[in-house]
Structures are given as structure tokens and as C-alpha cells.
Structure 1
Amino acid sequence: MTATTTPPSTHYQDTHPHNPADTHPPPPHHPLTDREQALAWLDAERENLIATAHAEGTTQATLSLGFSLGRYLLHRRRLQDLVTIRSLALDASTAPGANQAGAWNNLGLALREVRRFDEAIDAHQKALTLHQQTGDTHSSAAAWNNLGLALHGARRFDEAIDAHQKSLTLHQHVDIHNEAGARNNLGTALRAVRRFDEAIDAGERAAAMLAAEGDWFLTGEAWEELATTLDAAGADPARTKKAWERSAAAYTQAGATEEAETSRAHTDDPPPPQSSNE
């Protein structure tokens, strides 16, 4: 399922300690030139960065760290750290002009990851209310989407369907990429209540839209969800196999080797031969 996150800052904001303290991590000695170097630096400095957020309290530095570290912590599955840093960011978001709605949204996503669904629902409802108060339709649509995911996790499927439909309506004809994500999540929720025809239609539309956008990773995910729906619906096995094949092909195009192999395993076909330099 596709979650809509508040975009993190591109770079970490420099911190200016009130007094010299070891909790402030040093910057890298050399520019980070690729993803693996960046991950290695974050791995080494993770504890210091989180300590910095604690030490800074309700400051802009804490807010910046709270927004910036989220995707890294999620990638490394440091989920308790993720909840902590998102909570600290929320505490720091009360200053005038701070993105409090975004902080609630990000905390809700973190809480869903640790299966604290009722708290996640509450957080996304607060984010939604704040976005609606400012008339931010795009962010309201994202909040409905993420609320739907939390409701799904809580097995409140009818409410999840309603939330994803609201997200879809707000995104429709305005943001094709997020409209496709909303359709994909709607299809998953419809599958949960065995409304298979509607779920298949939503999944097919999502996959086609994401492919047209060139987002091959999410296209692979959409075909994966659709294949799961087809299997649950007792569809023609050949049709289900084709969906798994399309999932594997999309993941391959995205460079997501592990995900492609997982989808391909459902087809009973061997992986394609490795290219040779001979």
C-alpha cells in the first residue's frame, strides 16, 4: 500500500549548540557522493542525531531533524527511533509557522508502522483537520489517504474505503500520481471486504496510471496488489500469473531486484539469465 509522506528536508540543518556538547554530531569529513556513503554516515551518527533532537528540545533544529531522519529510520526499520523522532518533531511544531499538520501526519505514519493503529488514526485526523482549516486540498487528500491506511490496519475496512474514496476524489484530474496511489489503496481495502470486481478495477487503473507516469517501483507494487486480489477472487490462474509477471517486470525496470524476485517466484518461472561479459 502506498503512503503519502510529508517530504523531508533535502539536507540536515546545521545545529548551533548553546554550549559545546558531544551530542552534536560532526558533519562528514568529505562530501557524500552516493546513497551508500550517506547511509553509512547516518548509521554511524544515528544515536548522536537522535540525542541532538532530545537536547535541542522544541527548536527548529529538532523539527528539522524530525522531518529529515524519518525515511532513513524507516529504511533501516528502526521503528521505535522513528516514533521517538516524529514525536519530538511534533513537540517542536507548535512554533508559529511550523508545519504542525505535517508533523502529525508523519507521527501517524510512524505509529502505524508499530501497529499502534488507534493512535495513528487520531494523528491523521488531527493532520486532516489542520489541512482543512487552511484550505489545503492537496494535503487534505494525502491526509485522507494516510487515514485510510491506518483505518485499514485497525480492520475498520468500510471507513478505510470511505477515506480512500475521499482521497481519490480530491486527487482526481489534479495529481495523477497520487490519484493512482489512492486507487491502489482503495483496491486493497475493497479486497478486504471481498468486493473483488471493484477491487480489480481499481487495481488495474492504478497500475496503468503509474506505468504511464514512469514510476516503475509503484507500478510493480500495484501489479503485486492486483495479483493478490485476483488470487483471492479465484480468477483465471493465467490472468493472475500475468499480473505477477508484470509486477516482476516493473520492479526489474525500477532496479528493485529483491522485489522482482519475490513477484517472479509466484509465476513458477526461473529468473532471466544474467548477462555475460564474455
Structure 2
Amino acid sequence: MRLAECLAVYLRWRRSFDDWITVARAAREAAHRAGNRLGEGDAWTNLGNALREAGRVGEAVDAHTRARDLHRAAGDRQREGIAWTCLGIALEKAGRVGEAVDAHTRARDLHQAAGDRHHEGIAWTCLGIALEKAGPAEEAIEAYGKALEIFREFEDWYRAGRTLRNLASAHESAGRPSDARACWLQAADAFTHANAPDRATQARTRAEDQE
């Protein structure tokens, strides 16, 4: 199971999705045979991510649902929260945006209850993306703002930059170019702090487009 987790990163980078699915299934079966319910839940999450990356979003939804149910039964709130986040992403990819909003809201609430601020920030970001697809930008902007506050608190500048990029796009959609420009400039600064100069340059270019 541990080997499968390590290989997941490599196989994702190499976009070897079929191999990733095969490895994840082997880990899931091993965990099931060993009676390791938490490990089985993690393996289902890994399998769901592989299926989603392969474009098999319906199967990914099913896998993440299994992961959620296993972690919920075990009473492990942090892992259940992660499973809800992954499920929400898969639901969004499947076009089930309303359900995705509900899933990310559950993930946020679980991470809040567990006191896991960083994962809460990730959940806020995913919720913002789903809300932006669901309709008016205002609720998405509020969610992105919550995520940004948390990432700045942790000095997670790369995620802060990505969140500011999302905020800028949401302001553009709402017809507020001056707010969008301010967010693009802040995103450039965040990416510079994160040692991501290519992303910083892209953000500055987008800011210039708003002038």
C-alpha cells in the first residue's frame, strides 16, 4: 500500500494512468485482504484520483464514494474530509456541480471540526471553484478569500498565488477589471515568493491586460 502511494506521484507525473489504476487496484485489494479499513479507504482515494485523471469520472465518483464511506465508518474525520474533497472534484468533472458544492462544504466542515486549517483552506478553494461554475461569482469570491487567508497564514505562497489567480478570474467574470488587476498583481508577488517565476510572469501579463 505504501509503495502504491509513492508510485502514484511518479505515475501521475508521467501520465501513466493505466499503470496507476493497476497499482491502485492492487493496493486496494491488499488492504481489503488485510482487513485494514483505513488503508482500504486511502487506496480507494488513490484509485479514484487515477480514474479521474484517466477521464473515467463516473468510476472515479464511485471510488471516492467508497473511500468516504470507509473513513466515515472508521470515525476518522480528517481522512473523511479528504475523501469528500476528492469526491467533490470528481463530481464537478462529471458535471454534477450542485453535488460538488455539497461535497466541498462537507469537507470544509469536517476539517474545521478537526482543527486542520491547511486542509480547510484546500476545501475552501475547491468550494470556490465549484461555486463559480454553479452561478454568480460572489459566493465563489468569498470562498476564495477564506482560502487565501489560510494559505497566507501558513505562508503557502504557491497555493496563495493559485487562489489569487482564481479570485482574479472571478472578478473578471463579475465585470470588475480593477479588482481583477489587483489580484493578478498580488498573485505575481505570491508566485515570486513561492519561487515560481514563470507563474509570476503570467500573472503580471494578465494584470497588464486589465489596464
The reply to whether TM is greater than 0.5 is yes
> What are the Cα deviations for residues 245-276 of structure 1, in whole angstroms up to 9, with x where unaligned?
1112112211123322332221228xxxxxxx
Give the direction of change, closer, same or farther, for the CA distance of 1:110–1:258 in structure 2 (3 Å limit). farther
Mapping of residues 85-100 of structure 1, within 5 Å: 85-98=23-36, 99-100=39-40
Q: Name the SS for the 1:74 alignment partner.
A: helix
Give the direction of change, closer, same or farther, for the CA distance of 1:88–1:162 in structure 2 (3 Å limit). same
Structure 1 letter corresponding to 2:87 = L
Choose the corresponding residue for 1:244, options 181, 184, 187: 184
| Cα distance, 1:83 vs structure 2 | 2.3
> What are the Cα deviations for residues 12-59 of structure 1, in whole angstroms up to 9, with x where unaligned?
xxxxxxxxxxxxxxxxxxxxxxxxxxxxxxxxxxxxxxxxxxxxxxxx
Task: Provide the residue aligned with 2:143 in structure 1.
Answer: 202
Task: Provide the residue aligned with 1:266 in structure 2.
Answer: 206
Structure 2: how far apart are the matches of 1:97 and 1:149? 28
| Cα distance, 1:69 vs structure 2 | 0.9
Structure whose alpha-carbon radius of gyration is higher: 1
Task: Provide the residue aligned with 2:172 in structure 1.
Answer: 231
Mapping of residues 1-278 of structure 1, within 5 Å: 63-98=1-36, 99-172=39-112, 174-235=115-176, 237-268=177-208
| Cα distance, 1:207 vs structure 2 | 0.9
Structure 2: how far apart are the matches of 1:224 and 1:97? 43
Structure 2 letter corresponding to 1:110 = A
| Cα distance, 1:65 vs structure 2 | 2.2
Structure 1: how far apart are the matches of 2:186 and 2:55? 31
Unaligned runs of 5+ in 1: 1-62, 270-278
> What are the Cα deviations for residues 44-99 of structure 1, in whole angstroms up to 9, with x where unaligned?
xxxxxxxxxxxxxxxxxxx3321111112222333333223222222322232541
Structure 2: how far apart are the matches of 1:251 and 1:88? 38
Q: Alpha carbon RMSD of aligned pairs, Å? A: 1.6
Structure 1 letter corresponding to 2:32 = T
Structure 2: how far apart are the matches of 1:229 and 1:105? 30
| Cα distance, 1:164 vs structure 2 | 0.5
Task: Provide the residue aligned with 1:20 in structure 2.
Answer: none
Q: Name the SS for the 1:128 alignment partner.
A: helix
> What are the Cα deviations for residues 198-235 of structure 1, in whole angstroms up to 9, with x where unaligned?
11111111112111111111111111111111111222
Q: Normalising by structure 2, what TM-score?
A: 0.91
Structure 1: how far apart are the matches of 2:90 and 2:15? 18
Structure 1 letter corresponding to 2:110 = L
Unaligned runs of 5+ in 2: none
| Cα distance, 1:186 vs structure 2 | 0.6
Structure 1: how far apart are the matches of 2:122 and 2:28? 26
Structure 2: how far apart are the matches of 1:93 and 1:145? 22
Structure 1: how far apart are the matches of 2:21 and 2:191? 29
